[in-house]
Chains A and B, each alone.
Chain A
């Protein structure tokens, strides 16, 4: 046994024990995808490090594990999710949803029992507490909780010290609510109960303005029972049988939350292309994504090339200083620049509007409400992106211009070509050979330029009348983000994933074009 072998086997033992530890957990939580990821990674590690057949893989695998886990697998997972109804209300698996429903309880009418004095308290964090005076042996005190918190709350305690000479004494740190205050809070209070044991609880029954209110003891029963033979949920309160309709149990035409996630085939895609109130906005967003990416590249390229052309002159003074300054915007992280630009563009106080102030007066027009109308928001996005992106184009065109042999231009001049002619016929085509792959790369980058759009406008202003949260400056990736995370209409993971798949294909096409274009240009100009 060499040291390296001991090291290797210890390492494998640790990895394998972690895997053995994790697998039952993934089974408990029904995380099938995570389970398959763990198994794939586990097999790869054991294959590569136990045998000597895959020696070079030993070097590659450590890095590759991360790429497989967090790039390749998510991409596959994403395609799977796009065929499910995964969204708020349908997050759980069916078994998990059934478990949650079976934990729900109700109080049958005939179980509403004895009545007694009850006191309502509040602590400094405004949580409610009940004191139920059943008799001198049963003075129960505890937090009053709603149905959702029942399983995380401890049972009420017997606290005889709360009564001195049969008079209730408010404990330190609590506030005793008067009858009027109880009425004011009655909507909250009617859902709260003091838990005595698994099936018995105390609820506030009658609020009394004079003297103590009345509480009532009740025993609860399980509200839903799952009948796995017929695959129906039985509602014990109303004696209803609730069958499965797609991804929910439905009682009397009413869906019971939560539902569960199911495979829905192409429904998300159908929704994207046929639901008018989604298809419309999606079309707007897709068109703008292309426009935005194209115009961004064009504007940055034109400005960058123009600047590198005017500096590309022998004997020009301050050249180095100009260069250093033109690069500066590129050196600032975008999340900072965008924040600053948001300030400059502020319609009420921003500098842009105070500069334009005289213009507005001369032409007698309303000051532009930057970022709040479709046109102004779109122009602002392009303006800021030009600021962010022209330095990059300046840098690469400067490099490319310098690599074009001067003799070529001289020769053209001797042959009588004008400045413009030699630019369009010689400089520009040569420039494009080295620059065009970068332009396509830049297009692809801007196609998914989430940071700029999301931080500058948040995609806004909103498009009115659509079924999903979407705005006039949203690009596909920010649209996806809103659908999945922050749209304020729940998490539509399935629908968002299907939009991501569309982006995947567009990026694929762009990359393919880039690849072929580069090849072609190399063939045409390769000899120069």
Chain B
């Protein structure tokens, strides 16, 4: 009787747990492995112990003391570029979305369609032309040319603003038009309707779009790699993938520590905003 019960449990639930556990190991092992190695005394690639022999923060300290690996400058650069670009992205995207959602004008449908078509192509696809264009900009206006954060931010702005306007417009469409019609009757200007009614009501989606854009730019490799030549101006993605190539085994502790620092904030943001991010993804796939 007991065996029969057990068999039945296995048939109903047990095998599910078995496979789930298998994939739990697959999913989590690399993450645990890198986390423990970042604090392990003798960190190297063969160190498969998930509980390290000795706990140490030396790898983290090494990251701040090695002038050849200016890791914290990279981190600062990444946050700087991603925050500024994401902010202006959302700001300008909101302005455009307001016009698309609330104002009637000729060419509205055509412009919206253009947005959708342009966004089908990843912005880095024409990277050769972007590179050559900024090569020319370097002559004319060196402060925003190749090798500068300013120029990189401009490119990031161009890359995702269309898609973001589209998403924000979708949300604004769900805000009842009776609100701004009432305001219009009371004599509110276009600008007042935007700043007093629509923008505040759209704030939840704006936060989400800011986070999605921030994560996207934070994780970008190709454009940053093309743009930034000076080691001190690199972003984390370029930095750690350029510096740690020679002796993986010896550097493993430092690689692990830098990975943990680079990944943790994004992972936390992601878990926190998971529902909204996947919602946005379903609307048009940003990552994945």
Chain A positions near chain B (C-beta within 8 angstroms):
22, 25-26, 29, 31, 33-34, 37, 54-60, 62-64, 66-78, 81, 86, 303, 306-307, 310-311, 313, 315-318, 322, 324-344, 346, 348-351, 354, 387, 389, 391-392, 395-396, 399, 438, 441-442, 444-445, 448, 450-451, 454-455, 477, 480-481, 484-485, 493, 496-497, 500, 503-504, 507-508, 511
B274 part of interface (Cβ distance < 8 Å)? yes
Assess whether B27 is in contact with A392, with CB atoms less than 8 Å apart.
no
B140 is an interface residue with CB less than 8 A from chain A: yes
The reply to whether the CB of B127 lies closer than 8 angstroms to some CB of chain A is yes
Q: Which 7 A-B pairs have the closest CB atoms?
A: A70-B158, A59-B99, A392-B288, A63-B92, A31-B136, A349-B45, A74-B129
Given the interface pairs A310-B16, A328-B31, the reply to whether A59 lies near B133 with Cβ below 8 Å is: no
Q: Are A497 and B128 closer than 8 Å at their CB atoms?
A: yes
Q: Are A326 and B23 in contact (CB-based, < 8 A)? A: yes
Least distance between B254 CB and chain A CB atoms (Å): 11
Chain B positions 117 through 150: 1 when the CB is less than 8 Å from some CB of chain A, otherwise 0? 0101111111111111100110111000000000
Among B12, B161, B255, B287, the residue within 8 A (CB) of A66 is: B161
- Chain B residues whose CB sits within 8 angstroms of the CB of A328 once the complex forms: 27-28, 31, 267
State whether B95 touches A335 (Cβ < 8 A). Answer: no
Distance A329 CA – B28 CA, assembled complex (angstroms):
7
A313 to B13, CA, bound (A): 8
**A-side contacts of B16, CB under 8 Å:** 310-311, 313, 316
Kindly provide the distance from the CB of A285 to the nearest chain B CB, expressed in whole angstroms: 16
B residues with CB within 8 A of A: 12-13, 15-17, 19-20, 23-24, 26-28, 30-31, 33-34, 44-46, 48, 92-93, 95-96, 98-100, 103-105, 108, 111, 118, 120-133, 136-137, 139-141, 154-155, 157-159, 161-162, 165, 194, 215, 218-219, 221-222, 226, 236-237, 240-241, 244, 248-249, 252, 255-256, 259, 262-263, 266-267, 270-271, 274, 278, 281-282, 284-285, 287-288
Question: Main SS of chain A's interface residues?
Answer: helix
Q: Chain A: which residue is nearest B19 at the CB level?
A: A310
Which chain B residue lies CB-closest to A351? B48
| B113 → A minimal CB distance (Å) | 12
Determine the distance from Cα of A69 to Cα of B153 in the docked complex, in whole angstroms. 13
- Minimum CB distance partner of B279 in chain A: A399
Residues of B within 8 A of A338 (CB): 241
Mind listing 30 A-B residue pairs with CB under 8 Å?
A26-B140, A29-B140, A31-B140, A33-B136, A34-B137, A69-B154, A70-B130, A75-B129, A76-B129, A81-B132, A86-B132, A313-B12, A325-B24, A325-B27, A325-B28, A329-B30, A336-B262, A338-B241, A339-B240, A339-B244, A340-B30, A346-B249, A387-B27, A392-B287, A450-B222, A454-B221, A455-B221, A455-B241, A480-B128, A493-B128
CB-CB under 8 A from A316, the residues of chain B are 13, 16-17
Given contact pairs A29-B140, A60-B96, A342-B248, A69 touches B158 in the complex (Cβ within 8 A): yes
The answer to whether residues A395 and B259 also contact, given A29-B139, A350-B45, A481-B127 and a CB cut-off of 8 A, is no
The answer for the CA separation of A387 and B31 in the assembled complex, in Å, is 11
Contact call A59/B98, Cβ cutoff below 8 A: yes
Residues in A whose Cβ lies below 8 Å from that of B278: 395-396, 399
CB contact under 8 A between A344 and B33, given known A395-B278, A497-B128: yes
In the docked arrangement, what's the CA distance between A327 and B241, Å?
24
A-B contact count (CB 8 A): 280
The reply to whether B270 and A331 form a contact with Cβ atoms under 8 Å apart is yes
**B128 and A484 contacting across the interface, CB-CB below 8 Å:** yes
Q: Are the C-beta atoms of B105 and A56 separated by less than 8 Å?
A: yes
* Given A74-B133, A76-B129, A77-B133, 4 further pairs, Cβ under 8 A: A33-B133, A343-B45, A343-B255, A450-B221
Q: Is the Cβ of B132 less than 8 Å from the Cβ of A493? A: yes
Known A-B contacts A63-B92, A331-B266, A333-B219; the reply to A75 vs B126 at CB < 8 A is yes
- The answer to whether A26 touches B263, judged by C-beta atoms less than 8 angstroms apart, is no
CB closest chain-A residue, reference B281: A392
Contact A451–B133 (Cβ < 8 Å): no
**Interface pair B120/A63, CB less than 8 Å apart:** no
Whole-angstrom CA separation of A348 from B249 in the bound complex:
9
B52 to chain A, nearest CB (A): 15
Contact of A307 among B20, B30, B271, B287 (CB under 8 A): B20
B95 proximity list for chain A (CB < 8 A): 59-60, 62-63
Contact of A349 among B44, B96, B127, B137 (CB under 8 A): B44
Does A337 contact B30, Cβ atoms closer than 8 Å?
Answer: yes
Known: A26-B140, A339-B259. A307 touches B122 (CB 8 A): no
Q: How far is the CB of B14 from chain A (nearest CB, A)?
A: 10
CA distance A123 to B9 in the complex (A): 82
Instruction: Tell me, in angstroms, the Cα distance from A14 to B285 when the chains sit together.
Output: 39
Give CA–CA (A259, B13) in the complex, Å: 72
Contact of A71 among B17, B48, B162, B252 (CB under 8 A): B162
Q: State A333–B130 Cα separation when bound (angstroms).
A: 24
